[in-house]
């Protein structure tokens, strides 16, 4: 193999029949009866020198990664050429850890030594960042803006977008009081009724800050109130068209411009889509609304697949059943409650979530645990507790 190489220790793993088939956790299940950890010579700039599978004091759990062929189809992955000679024995899969960016699984299949890279991300948010947060008028927006900005590195720029000018100004004052001005510069932009000018506001902010050099860019889509406050779908044709423009067309236009911006070329990117585990399922009173939410989620899944090689990571986050979900009335005066929309009694028994709780859970996933680019993560998912 050309170039300088280092030795990486790898651990072979065989899933015990007593293990939960949906979990990979803790050192106890990283074992290879009858064999010792192997070593592999790989390029120095590819792998870290630390042992491959490093479990902290807590149990780190992944979702059904090393399973049968039917489960593999659920995963979003990129196939690449084999590295070295590390073919696993029958029934054993080998796990390698890239430098904080991906987990590599050597899975037993018809093609020997097939390397599958899973985008198991963990991020240090304390970098010089260009942050775009679209949507602050709902209950979750303020806590997202404040907590994300607190973690950004010196020289960062935060662009806060919303159609409610009064709430924008209040949030800007809050951020300026809470943050050090020399650390994060905060700009605001007022979205139009259709949210169609978001990409123009972003271009303007980047042009005014073209001398700034960013290490990362984050776009956080929190538009609308359906994921955090409102359960009832639009009920007139005009309201539905406006909803689609806000929830689908606006975020897509902003994201596409963000991906192609010349000012952000060769900059690591993270897109976070605030969604709802409820509203992407068929629900009573929610046919049109669920359809739009599902389309938006599919766009971000496609982005993760298409832009993976360009250093773009994507996470769709569901904040749970928010405490702010209020009883509403339809055009006929009928009351709509969470209990009317959700048929699953187990979901109704789950605790209601405050905005700060959801925000801290999202940050914990990004910074402390990990996530798979393109996958959905719900507040109630136990594997990221």
Q: What are phi and psi of 281, to 5 degrees?
A: -115, 160
Instruction: Find the mean pLDDT for residues 314-328.
Output: 78
Average pLDDT value for the chain: 68
- The whole-number pLDDT of residue 156 equals 95
- The whole-number pLDDT of residue 283 equals 60
Rounded CA separation 5/41 (Å):
6
Rounded CA separation 145/136 (Å):
8
Least reliable range by pLDDT among 55-64, 121-130, 181-190, 205-214: 55-64
**Pick from 235, 305, 304, 307: which is nearest to 264 by CA?**
307
- The whole-number pLDDT of residue 264 equals 94
Judged against a pLDDT cut of 50, whether residue 305 lies above it is answered with: yes
- The whole-number pLDDT of residue 344 equals 60
Give the C-alpha distances (Å, rounded to integers) separating 128 from 216, 258, 312, 314, 363. 7, 17, 16, 19, 17
Give the C-alpha distances (Å, rounded to integers) separating 25 from 54, 251, 384. 11, 36, 12
Extract the tokens encoding 122. Answer: 């963990």
SS3 category, 281 = coil
What percentage of the chain has pLDDT greater than the value 90?
30
- The whole-number pLDDT of residue 309 equals 84
Judge contact between 180 and 152, C-beta under 8 A: no
Task: Convert the pLDDT of each residue in 248-280 to its tens digit.
Answer: 899 999 999 999 999 999 999 999 999 877 665
The residue that leads in pLDDT, 344 or 258, is 258
> In the chain, what are the domains?
5-118 (no CATH), 129-384 (3.40.50.720)
Judged against a pLDDT cut of 60, whether residue 5 lies above it is answered with: no
- The whole-number pLDDT of residue 353 equals 84
Among left, alpha and beta (phi > 0; psi -120 to 50; other), residue 81 is: beta
The residue that leads in pLDDT, 57 or 367, is 367
For residue 121, give every residue at least 6 positions away whose Cβ sits within 8 Å of its Cβ, in sequence order, or none: 100, 101, 102, 313, 315, 366, 370, 371, 372, 373
- Place 36 in a pLDDT band, splitting at 50, 70 and 90: very low
- Between vectors from CA 340 to CA 336 and to CA 342, what angle results, nearest 5°? 125
- The whole-number pLDDT of residue 111 equals 36
The residue that leads in pLDDT, 371 or 132, is 132
SS3 category, 21 = coil
Helices (H), 28-77: 69-72
Judge contact between 335 and 329, C-beta under 8 A: yes
- Between vectors from CA 141 to CA 139 and to CA 142, what angle results, nearest 5°? 90
Rounded CA separation 87/90 (Å):
9
- The whole-number pLDDT of residue 228 equals 60
Judge contact between 118 and 102, C-beta under 8 A: yes
Least reliable range by pLDDT among 11-15, 117-121, 148-152: 11-15
- The whole-number pLDDT of residue 373 equals 86
Helices (H), the chain: 69-72, 141-151, 165-178, 198-208, 237-244, 250-260, 287-306, 338-341, 345-348, 355-367
Instruction: Find the mean pLDDT for residues 99-106.
Output: 37
- The whole-number pLDDT of residue 195 equals 86
Rounded CA separation 22/71 (Å):
10
DSSP letter at 284 equals T
Judged against a pLDDT cut of 50, whether residue 15 lies above it is answered with: no
Rounded CA separation 101/238 (Å):
44
Q: What are phi and psi of 21, to 5 degrees?
A: -65, -10
Task: Convert the pLDDT of each residue in 124-164 to its tens digit.
Answer: 899 999 999 998 888 789 999 999 999 999 999 999 999 98
* Biggest distance spanned by C-alpha atoms of the chain: 73
Task: Convert the pLDDT of each residue in 49-86 to its tens digit.
Answer: 333 333 332 222 222 233 233 333 333 332 332 333 33
**Pick from 357, 356, 365, 366: which is nearest to 385 by CA?**
365
- The whole-number pLDDT of residue 152 equals 94
- The whole-number pLDDT of residue 273 equals 94
Instruction: Find the mean pLDDT for residues 236-251.
Output: 84
């Amino acid at each position: 193999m050309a170039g300088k190489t280092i030795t990486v220790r790898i651990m072979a793993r065989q899933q015990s029949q007593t293990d939960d088939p949906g979990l990979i956790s803790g050192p106890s299940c990283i074992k290879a009866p009858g064999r010792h950890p192997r070593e592999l010579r790989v390029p120095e700039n590819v792998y870290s020198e630390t042992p491959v599978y490093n479990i902290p004091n807590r149990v780190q759990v992944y979702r059904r990664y090393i399973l049968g062929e039917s489960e593999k189809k659920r995963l979003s992955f990129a196939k690449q050429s084999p590295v070295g000679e590390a073919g696993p024995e029958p029934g054993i899969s080998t796990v390698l850890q890239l430098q904080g960016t991906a987990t590599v699984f050597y899975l037993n299949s018809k093609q020997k030594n097939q390397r599958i890279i899973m985008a198991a991300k963990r991020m240090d948010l304390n970098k010089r960042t260009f942050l775009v947060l679209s949507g602050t008028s709902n209950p979750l927006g303020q806590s997202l803006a404040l907590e994300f900005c607190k973690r950004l590195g010196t020289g960062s720029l935060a662009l806060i977008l919303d159609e409610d000018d009064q709430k924008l100004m209040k949030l800007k004052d809050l951020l300026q009081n809470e943050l050090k001005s020399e650390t994060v510069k905060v700009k605001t932009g007022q979205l139009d009724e259709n949210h169609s000018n978001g990409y123009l506001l972003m271009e303007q902010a980047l042009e005014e800050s073209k001398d700034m050099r960013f290490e990362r860019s984050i776009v956080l889509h929190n538009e609308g109130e359906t994921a955090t406050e409102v359960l009832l779908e639009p009920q007139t044709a005009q309201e539905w068209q406006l909803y689609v423009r806000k929830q689908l067309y606006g975020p897509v236009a902003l994201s596409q411009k963000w991906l192609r911006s010349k000012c952000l070329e060769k900059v690591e990117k993270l897109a976070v889509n605030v969604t709802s585990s409820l509203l992407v399922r068929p629900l009573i009173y929610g046919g049109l609304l669920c359809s739009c939410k599902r389309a938006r989620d599919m766009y971000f899944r496609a982005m993760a697949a298409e832009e993976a090689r360009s250093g773009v990571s994507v996470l769709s986050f569901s904040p749970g059943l928010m405490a702010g979900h209020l009883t509403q009335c339809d055009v006929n005066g009928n009351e709509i409650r969470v209990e009317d929309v959700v048929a699953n009694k187990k979901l109704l028994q789950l605790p209601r979530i405050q905005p700060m709780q959801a925000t801290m859970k999202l940050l914990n996933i990004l910074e402390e645990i990990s996530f798979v680019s393109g996958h959905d993560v719900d507040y109630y998912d136990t594997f990221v507790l």
